[in-house]
Structure 1
Amino acid sequence: MGTFSLNCHPATPAKSVRGLSVGWAQEDSALRLTYRVQGAQHLVLPKTQPAARTDGLWKTTCFEMFLGLSGTAYSEFNFSPSSQWAAYGFHDYRDSAGDWPMAQAPQVSVERQGEDVLAHVRLPSVVLEGARVAGLTAVIEEEGGVLSYWALAHGVKPDFHLRSCFTLSIASAEAP
């Protein structure tokens, strides 16, 4: 589908991160996302852990995706550089429907390329069923506890759950 640039919310400026982009590639059985953090010299990366569903990943560096479904329903996916992940469903804005069912866990890996960090995420393509729009986001923690919030689009305050921030149209949802 392409590569998309995320914008840092002006109320939460980054320390040294210069940019963040997300590559999106759909295959028959998988969705591949590649998050590239540019200027990641001071990026805080959580220690590698066994891949497992874990809550609270957004408290430090975490890559995320929101999928807008029909009506006001949506799903949220969190991908930690530690390899841990989370998936949640919502009936409406922050109205939890509990854990989003995942028959196959996301695969998350991280690599450094010079001053950049790349996070590779592989998800089963079934997560896109019923999705109409997506929001690509990231919470970035840098040394000293500096947090910045990155998204395709922002509201007045950093809030990735706002439907107006889900600006990426998913072509498969538009097919007849």
Structure 2
Amino acid sequence: MTLQPHPTSPLGPVEQIVAHFERVNRFRLRARFELRGAISQVVWPASVLGGRADDLWRTTCFEAFLAGDAAYWEFNFSPSQQWASYSFDAYRSGQRQAAEVASPAQLELEEHYAELEVTFERPPGVSHLGLSAVIESADGAMSYWALAHPSAKPDFHHPDSFVLDLP
């Protein structure tokens, strides 16, 4: 599946983001994000030991949003190997840290290609998925990529962004 830049996103070093998604088993999901372009012009957070962290979306970060009946979950996957998971009661309300965990792998970088693979826990009762990315350029510009952009501003939380049905 190819992520699309939001129409208001500036042109940047990334030319294409392809996302691959699969269910590992009843409880775990896997996503792989492949980027093509001028990879050296992307801001890559420094690799750390990993673990849970907040505000990962403020620089280059990959995301998954999973929706159930009313509630939904947000996962952030940093190339630094840090991650975050939040649950929401409704659109942008009732946010709290979620119990579900993630495991971003080490970022693979080449001159014109980068890849990040992550596995993460599937929250109970989810049926829809949205995948997205925030890309920071060396010049400080931010671009927002997703499977769908249903609103005038980038908004990965928008219910119409969860376009994939989960098996």
Corresponding residue for residue 17 of structure 1 = 14
2:145 matched to 1:150? yes
1:43 aligns with 2:46: no
Q: Which residue pairs with 1:138 in the alignment? A: 133
TM-score by length of 1: 0.87
Indicate if the aligned counterparts of 2:78 and 2:104 stay in contact, CA closer than 8 A: no
Residue identity over aligned pairs, in percent, reads: 38
Which 5+ residue runs of structure 1 have no aligned equivalent?
172-176
Distance (whole Å) between structure 2 residues aligned to residue 60 and residue 69 of structure 1: 28
Query: Partners of 1:118 and 1:27 in 2: how far apart?
Result: 19
- Match of 2:94, SS state, is strand
2:154 aligned counterpart, secondary structure:
coil
TM-superposed CA distance for 1:105, in Å, is 4.0
The equivalent of 1:56 in structure 2 is 55
Describe the superposition over 1:132-175 as per-residue Cα deviations: whole angstroms up to 9, x where unpaired: 1111000001111010000011121101110011111112xxxx
2:32 corresponds to: 34
Structure 2: runs of 5 or more not aligned: none
Task: Give the partner amino acid of 1:17.
Answer: V
Q: Please name the residue that 1:92 is paired with.
A: 90
Taking the aligned partners of 2:102 and 2:74, their CA distance within structure 1 comes to 14
Q: 2:163 aligns with which of 158, 161, 167?
A: 167
Quote how far apart the aligned CAs of 1:107 are.
Answer: 3.2
The one-letter code matched in structure 2 to 1:123 is: F
The answer on whether the counterparts of 2:3 and 2:147 sit within 8 Å (CA) in structure 1 is yes
Q: Counterpart in 2 of 1:66?
A: 65
Aligned to 1:82: 80
State TM-score, norm by structure 2: 0.92
Query: d(CA) in 2 for partners of 1:13 and 1:99?
Result: 31
Q: Confirm whether residue 109 of structure 1 aligns to residue 117 of structure 2.
A: no
Q: 1:5 maps to what in 2?
A: 2
For the 8 Å contact 2:79–2:106, the answer to whether it is kept is: yes
> 4+ runs of 1 displaced by more than 4 Å?
none
Equivalent pair of 2:105/2:117 in contact (CA under 8 Å): yes
Q: Is the 8 A contact 1:79 1:108 kept in 2?
A: no
